[in-house]
A and B are shown apart, each in its own frame.
Chain A
Amino acid sequence: MWLIPAIVLPRRGRRERVHGDEDGELLARLRAGDERAFTALVARHNASMMRLACSFVSSRAVAEEVVQDTWLGVLRGLDGFAERAAFRTWLLRILVNRARSTGVRERRSVAIGDAGPVVDQARFDSSGAWMSPPEHWVEDSDDRLLAQGLTTELHAALEGLPARQREVVMLRDVDGLSGLEVCEVLEISEANQRVLLHRGRSHLRQVLEDELGGV
């Protein structure tokens, strides 16, 4: 029997709702044989797909093949796609399945927890209170932070995360998927999703502190 844990469902972001509506419209046009609708869907989703594919396979060329294969799968599966499901979730699920079945990189189900605290223990005293507190860096304007060439650093830090953390952080924070969508796409539990998200985001925060703190 399935036990359904009492969880708070993540709220759907505005970005997602807009996404859903436009996808629905494009799908209708695609079904009616409009090639431009296909091009538009590609333009909307291909970047997320490439990023996700790249974290499963070892080369960009293979990632491109996986993505192309996914689009073909989408076209062929169009009739069977139930409209009530989110198109993007469905699309990314297909992608993950294809990427995994290419078997280019063996992905074992370890390292979810990666153990260890997310903030260096040396920064706390024996009672667990901050000894070396976070250095201030947040400003009123994100634009000003980004103008300092931060994008490159942050991008590199994201790329450098362990694959599973990277996948979750990219899907959540770059692509704007909800926690539930990410669980569906990657076939992981809510708890694992949160652990991976926590570790990934915490690492990125540290990178930003190192980069910007104490100015």
Chain B
Amino acid sequence: MSVFFSRDPLVCQEVVELVTDYLEGALSRSQRRRLEAHLAGCEHCTEYLEQMRATIRLTGRLRVEDLTAEMQQELTAIYRRWRAEEEQ
């Protein structure tokens, strides 16, 4: 793919596809340099990257409902049955 081998400067449309690999540390050194060179001169892509980081943080704040009492009871019952099995 041209994005990976070309020496041309990256364009915005390519940058948005490489953002995750960048954040994951999965770009080669030369890819990373090209991406950072683009970011240095592009406020929109810098904003985009910041938004991806914010998205990750905000998703990390989601919490789900606690265990229902019913399920807790079921699991305790499973544990006790297993203990009984073990002791036989």
Contacts and interface: CB of A to CB of B under 8 A. Distances in A.
A106 to B, nearest CB: 26
Nearest to A46: B67
Nearest to A39: B76
B64 interface: yes
A81 interface: no
A117 B24 CA distance: 19
A72 B17 contact: no
A43 B67 contact: yes
Contact of B61 (A46, A67, A151, A198): A151
A71 B64 contact: no
A176 interface: yes
B16 to A, nearest CB: 5
Interface size range on A against B:
35 or more
A118 interface: yes
Contact of B26 (A8, A133, A134, A158): A8
Contact of A154 (B16, B19, B26, B58): B58
A75 interface: yes
B1 interface: no
A7 interface: yes
A201 B58 CA distance: 11
Interface residues of B, number: 44
A114 B54 CA distance: 24
* A-side interface mostly: helix
Contacts of B48: 134, 205
A136 interface: yes
A1 to B, nearest CB: 24
Interface in B34-88: 42, 44-45, 47-48, 50-52, 54-67, 71-72, 74-76, 78-80, 82-83
A35 B76 contact: yes
Interface in A47-105: 47, 50-51, 64, 67-68, 71-72, 75-76
A137 B79 contact: no
Nearest to A213: B51
Given A76-B82, A204-B59, A205-B48, 9 more contacts: A35-B83, A38-B76, A39-B72, A72-B82, A138-B51, A150-B58, A198-B17, A201-B52, A209-B51
Interface of A: 7-8, 10-11, 33, 35, 38-39, 42-43, 46-47, 50-51, 64, 67-68, 71-72, 75-76, 117-119, 121, 124, 127-130, 133-134, 136-138, 142, 145-146, 150-151, 154-155, 158, 169, 173-174, 176, 179, 190, 194, 197-198, 201-202, 204-205, 208-209
8 contacts: A38-B76, A68-B78, A72-B78, A118-B17, A138-B47, A142-B61, A145-B54, A205-B51
